[in-house]
Amino acid sequence: MMKHWKRLSHAEQDRRITAALEQNIDFRSQLSLGIPASRLDGQVFQESAPFLKDAPLLRTYVQNPNHIGCHTLGESEPFFAGTQALEQEVIAILGEDLLHAEAGGCDGYVASGGTEANMQAAWMYRNLFLHQYGAQHGEIALLSSTDTHYSVAKAANLLHLRWLQVPVAHTTRELQEAALVQIIQQAMATGIRYFIVFANMATTMFGSVDNPDVYANALRQAGAEFRMHVDGAFGGFIYPVSTPDNKLDFRNPDVSSVTLDAHKMLQAPYGTGIFLCRKDLMHHVYTEEAQYVAGMDITLSGSRSGANAIAVWMILATYGPFGYLEKINKLLYRTNWCCRALDALGIAYYRHPRMNIITLEAKGVPATVASQFGLVPDTHTGQPNWYKIVVMEHVEIEHLEAFVAAVQESAV
């Protein structure tokens, strides 16, 4: 049962967004001498354009609200309270209805992307270990699989932490438990005592999903302290929908935070990564020096467009939970179709049964066919081992059929 996620007509969405914009500051009629912000430049973005009347998102862009900070805790800049409230709704829908946090149990914000949301998590847990456990930097490590997105490598580099990579099995892409145990033992022998785990809710190249219990059990057995973040940048808008009974949301007490990217599966504009975490964690990244901004500075990015939150809110409201489930089922249907066709040809591939990625062994696909159909290789330097197909909205069965036929022809 959804508490917050409801389908709304276009007219209702327009009414809600118009009301939100009216609650925000209107630079034309309200005196505001101090804030370094205004509407978009009227010479370029003309407000009288007739199409704006029926386009609440474009009107939001023109009004240009700044959603600096995090609006689920403490105070926020009062000038943009109307649209900030819609961002709060987005966080409640995703945290509570999609990822099953308890009522009011989630903080979060619309970040620039999955990279930022993953960094926010690593930064938050590093500081938690420093503050709560008196840890030294050298005692904290990031831990994830070799299939993990490179944003975790970036986070390790920026935060000056070690990154430990756990190998996965070639055909199942599952974490290799024995190797994990050894990696933890070796790390602890060299002084690592605190682990920040990145569990994948669908990896970039394979769409494979990590079992978080494998990490939790190994770390508990080793007597190590850990916190776990789920990287759902790609799979976060598909896996929880296709697999309602899963271990990677807030029902699992080991999961403390999640990245989702609306600008991938939700087809939102870029700049809509979403960071979600349990209450009582964000304050670990509070910047005391940010005194002139109302509210706490606890996000990696500073100023950010409120229009991005509105875009996500509109997509969620347009589909509603059932419409969105149908959309995901359509993509899975197409993915199933393609897998059956590949099976009939005996072409080897990896596919998680609840995900929309098919990753083919490169030896089964001639490079010319891969390039003709725009498949993405696992490496751009040297010989690829894998090519992936991501079944997005624009990838239809006709396209998949043509691809399978081209593979078949190349084999004769």
Ligand X SMILES: Cc1ncc(COP(=O)(O)O)c(C=O)c1O
Binding residues for ligand X, rule: CB under 6 A, are 113-115, 118, 149, 151, 204, 231, 233-234, 261, 273
Between CA 211 and CA 366 the distance in angstroms is 33
The label of the residue with tokens 């959804």 reads 2
CB closer to ligand X out of 16 and 229: 229
CB closer to ligand X out of 98 and 404: 98
CB closer to ligand X out of 56 and 377: 377
Chain-centre distance for alpha carbon 7: 22
CB closer to ligand X out of 142 and 233: 233
Strand residues in 233-331 grouped as ranges (E): 255-261, 273-278
The CB-of-255 to ligand X minimum distance in angstroms stands at 16
CB closer to ligand X out of 120 and 204: 204
Alpha helices in 111-160 (DSSP H): 114-133, 151-159
Tokens of residue 98, six digits = 């999609």
The CB-of-407 to ligand X minimum distance in angstroms stands at 25
Residue 34: CB partners within 8 Å, gap ≥ 6? none
CB closer to ligand X out of 56 and 113: 113
The CB-of-233 to ligand X minimum distance in angstroms stands at 3
The CB-of-217 to ligand X minimum distance in angstroms stands at 23
Tokens of residue 268, six digits = 């939102």
The CB-of-114 to ligand X minimum distance in angstroms stands at 3
CB closer to ligand X out of 115 and 252: 115
The CB-of-3 to ligand X minimum distance in angstroms stands at 28
In angstroms, what CA-CA distances link 194 with 141, 162, 163, 256? Answer: 6, 11, 12, 15
Between CA 116 and CA 108 the distance in angstroms is 12
CB closer to ligand X out of 113 and 240: 113
Buried b (16+ CB within 10 A) or exposed e, 287-322: eeeeeebebbbbbbbeebbbbbbbbbbbbbbebebe
The CB-of-251 to ligand X minimum distance in angstroms stands at 21
Between CA 340 and CA 343 the distance in angstroms is 5
Between CA 236 and CA 44 the distance in angstroms is 37
Tokens of residue 253, six digits = 């007490």
Closest CA to 117 of 276, 228, 227: 276
The CB-of-185 to ligand X minimum distance in angstroms stands at 27
The CB-of-379 to ligand X minimum distance in angstroms stands at 15
In angstroms, what CA-CA distances link 250 with 201, 230, 266? Answer: 13, 10, 21
Residue 285: CB partners within 8 Å, gap ≥ 6? 120, 123, 124, 127, 298, 299, 300
CB closer to ligand X out of 87 and 231: 231
